[in-house]
Amino acid sequence: MARFTDDELGMKRGITRRDLLNGMLVGGGAAALSAALPGGAAHASTGHGGGSPYPPTSNGVVGQTDAARTVGHDVTFGGADPGPARDLREHYDLVVVGGGVSGLAAAYFYRKAFGSRARILVLEALADFGGHQHRNEFQVRGRTLLSNGGMVNLDSPDTWNSPSLSLMDDLGIDFAKLAEGVDTGYYTSKGLGTGYFFPEEGFGADTLVTRGATEPLSTLIARLPLSETARADILKVENTTEDYFPGLSDAEKKQRLARISYADYLRHHVGVGEEALVFYQRRTHGLWGTGIEAVPAGDCWGTGLPGFRGLALEPTPYNGIGRTPAMSLTTADEELYYFPDGGATVSRLLVSQLVPGVFSGRQTMESVITARADYGRLDRAGSDVRIRLNAMATDVRHRRGTRGPVDVEYVSGGKTYRVSGSHVVMACWNSVASYIVPGLPSAQVEAMRYGVKVPLVYARVALRDWRAWERAGISRITPYGTFWDSCSLATTTHQGGYASARESDEPIVVTLSKTPNQPGLPITRDQHRAGRRLLLETSFSDFEREIRDLMQRALGPSGFRASRDIMAITVNRWSHGYAYEYNSIADPVIFKPVAEQPFVLARRPFGNITIANSDAGAFGYTHAAVDEAFRAVKELT
């Protein structure tokens, strides 16, 4: 069948304002709202994202909008001159550049180390605090719907270090209670399984193959719109018990797997044809942001992908394994620690302790989920801790050599301002810090630019109901050969005063994800660079059309109508997404001692400036960001 027309998809329906496309007007809005500049009491209100006075409810493109990206690129790289900096004569004990979880944690740890009256300023380039740990809110038919705008869940806390565990304890996060509030088996209990969608363009006709919650994989494979040979190959991968490396020891097998990609392992050792590889091509997108041709086979074994049973490998890490598969092998915890808004609850709890009054009353991990933040209180004169949004740092330098105060310039609303700090923690991306901190040793600059962040998109779609999903018998769609990598109903939770939809006539959030890349490139960093270019060329209307098209084609036969059922769309665009994680194909440095790897060199302190972010651990997880914040503050003491 042909693709649906814009009218049929409801593209002209006024669910979101088209002036939000690509965030193009955020900069103008920020300029207008920041006419009363810092030094007054209300600087916090300088242009909350997407044109909304309450950032979590913004529709259109949020996250790293064009407005935020343009300031950094034009001023830092493009030679743009926003004019001389206005010295605000604000001096702080600590200035934190970056208001993500690492920056907020750094502010928290600094107060513990230097006293609760330490004066701290957090500068955040984006329109909301939390960085990747922000949230999306929707109002549909009188109900509030929540979803994560970035980081999804708290992963494997039994592998965490003491700083991150201690912080969670201080914030009152009870992991056992958190897991109890997640109903991972809810959709299965209703008999809902997974739908595998194959579009006409690549497979001859639009086909949704559904697999029931208890259906054997073999019967699903038999119904895939692939050749008999390809289906046989997939069955072989799933069921093989052959040892493809006979005579090698456990350690030797793992080293062999560390030096070949998963695609090459399936192709040259298991004997899988190219058609069958389509079934596995995107399995690695969620963790690494690349296809199977750029991820080591050993890392895929470590995270449980099929094809390795016959190797009889010991479930232990080895030299060269990536940190994510190593964590998967060492954790014994299979619980899902998931808030309705993902990691945003952690960010909100940190803010509630740093800036009293942003959330009324003392907040717990349950109450803060439904609490409304007063953004006007984030940056009030006289507060010990201030969080300044829409403030892109452009120059961070010691006033004298590498000693004494540090001057920090930032751009907000098209103008430049200057503050100073006795200490500075750079909690932004390493690559940004390498450009805006003059005087760094050249070897450190090179190390800071080594990693390339994973580009990714999390789209969140509010539906009036999910009856069509129930009729189709699925809670998730795995698409092949389409724009999106995944599409699913929100995880069912009941935390505090928030409860997810449990009946199909209730509103719900659908989550879609994409990690753009260029299949075929064997080096992970090259795939990320290509994916970023693709992402920045994609407009909101392009995202919206792909969302509506996929859902209409997959669920239309079950009664779904995109023009009627889709109530709102928010696209969380992260052109510089999760921290780059080394792997044994692209990064030979992974075989060196940790102390000799680039991310360790990159985080060395520079006078009164230290480095805190997940890049500093080469590991894109909450606990890594928190651990690096703890280290950065400790270096200042």
Which 3-state string (H, E, C) describes 489-500? ECCCEEECCEEC
Output the DSSP codes for 401-465: TTEEEEEEEEEETTEEEEEEEEEEEE-S-HHHHHHHSTT--HHHHHHHTS--PEEEEEEEEEES-
Give the Cα separation of 368 and 385 in Å (integer): 19
Judgement on whether residues 87 and 144 belong to the same structural domain of the protein = no
Q: Is the torsion defined by CA of 557, 563, 569, 574 positive or negative?
A: positive
pLDDT one-digit tens code per residue, 78-118: 667 778 999 999 999 999 999 999 999 999 999 999 999 99
pLDDT one-digit tens code per residue, 421-432: 999 999 999 999
Judgement on whether residues 159 and 16 belong to the same structural domain of the protein = yes
Whether this model's pTM surpasses 0.85: yes
pLDDT one-digit tens code per residue, 292-331: 999 999 999 999 999 999 999 999 999 999 999 999 999 9
Residue 212 forms part of a structural domain: no
Residue 335 forms part of a structural domain: no
The whole domain housing 316 covers 227-277+280-330
- Which three-class secondary structure string do you get for 503-525? CCCCCEEEEEEECCCCCCCCCHH
Judgement on whether residues 17 and 148 belong to the same structural domain of the protein = yes
pLDDT one-digit tens code per residue, 219-272: 999 999 999 999 999 999 999 999 999 999 999 999 999 999 999 999 999 999
**Residue type at 313 in one-letter notation:** L
Judgement on whether residues 445 and 461 belong to the same structural domain of the protein = no
At residue 554, what are phi and psi to the nearest 5 degrees?
A: -80, -35
The tokens for 288 are: 């690494």
pLDDT one-digit tens code per residue, 374-427: 999 999 999 999 999 999 999 999 999 888 999 999 999 999 999 999 999 999
Instruction: Return the bridge partners of 486, or none.
Output: 513
Say what the pLDDT of residue 52 is: 56
Centre a 10 Å sphere on the Cβ of residue 36 and count the other Cβ atoms it contains: 12
Residue 572 forms part of a structural domain: yes
pLDDT top residue among 230 and 25:
230
Residue 465 forms part of a structural domain: yes
The tokens for 131 are: 């960085």
Judgement on whether residues 380 and 516 belong to the same structural domain of the protein = no
Judgement on whether residues 129 and 139 belong to the same structural domain of the protein = no
Q: Which range in 5-9, 36-40, 62-66, 239-243 is most confidently predicted, on average pLDDT? A: 239-243
pLDDT one-digit tens code per residue, 600-627: 999 999 999 999 999 999 999 999 999 9
Judged against a pLDDT cut of 60, whether residue 172 lies above it is answered with: yes
Give the Cα separation of 20 and 386 in Å (integer): 28
- What's the whole-number average pLDDT of the chain? 92
Judgement on whether residues 12 and 147 belong to the same structural domain of the protein = yes
- Alpha helix segments (H runs only) across 34-76: 66-71
Q: Which CATH number goes with the domain that contains 469?
A: 3.90.660
Judged against a pLDDT cut of 90, whether residue 71 lies above it is answered with: no
Q: Looking at 548, 578, 608, which one is the last position of a domain?
A: 578
Residue 15's pLDDT band (cuts 50, 70, 90): low
**How does DSSP classify residue 588?**
G
Judgement on whether residues 41 and 149 belong to the same structural domain of the protein = no
Give the Cα separation of 242 and 363 in Å (integer): 55
Judgement on whether residues 249 and 373 belong to the same structural domain of the protein = no
Give the Cα separation of 187 and 501 in Å (integer): 11
pLDDT one-digit tens code per residue, 430-472: 999 999 999 999 999 999 999 999 999 999 999 999 999 999 9
pLDDT one-digit tens code per residue, 560-586: 999 999 999 999 999 999 999 999 999
Name the region of 449 (left: φ>0; alpha: ψ -120 to 50; beta: rest). Answer: alpha
Judgement on whether residues 353 and 304 belong to the same structural domain of the protein = no
Say what the pLDDT of residue 78 is: 66
How many domains does the chain contain in total? 3
Judged against a pLDDT cut of 70, whether residue 597 lies above it is answered with: yes
Residue 326 forms part of a structural domain: yes
Give the Cα separation of 374 and 369 in Å (integer): 14
Helix (H, G, I), strand (E, B) or coil at 481: coil
Q: Looking at 298, 330, 362, which one is the last position of a domain?
A: 330
Residue 42's pLDDT band (cuts 50, 70, 90): very low
Judgement on whether residues 447 and 458 belong to the same structural domain of the protein = no
Say what the pLDDT of residue 79 is: 67
Give 60's Cβ-side CA count (13 Å radius): 22
pLDDT-wise least confident of 296-300, 492-496, 504-508: 492-496
At residue 442, what are phi and psi to the nearest 5 degrees?
A: -60, -35
Residue 40's pLDDT band (cuts 50, 70, 90): very low
- Which three-class secondary structure string do you get for 258-305? HCCEHHHHHHHHHCCCHHHHCCCCCCCHHHHCCCCCCCEHHHHHHCCC
Q: Which CATH number goes with the domain that contains 80?
A: 3.50.50.60
Residue 417 forms part of a structural domain: yes
Judged against a pLDDT cut of 60, whether residue 503 lies above it is answered with: yes
List CB contacts of 632: < 8 A, sequence separation 6 or more. Answer: 106, 425, 427, 603, 605, 610, 611, 612, 616
Helix (H, G, I), strand (E, B) or coil at 92: strand
Judgement on whether residues 447 and 457 belong to the same structural domain of the protein = no
Q: Looking at 578, 602, 617, which one is the last position of a domain?
A: 578
Answer whether 181's CB lies under 8 Å from 495's CB: yes
Residue 220 forms part of a structural domain: no
Judged against a pLDDT cut of 60, whether residue 24 lies above it is answered with: no
Judged against a pLDDT cut of 80, whether residue 32 lies above it is answered with: no
Residue 201 forms part of a structural domain: no
Say what the pLDDT of residue 14 is: 63
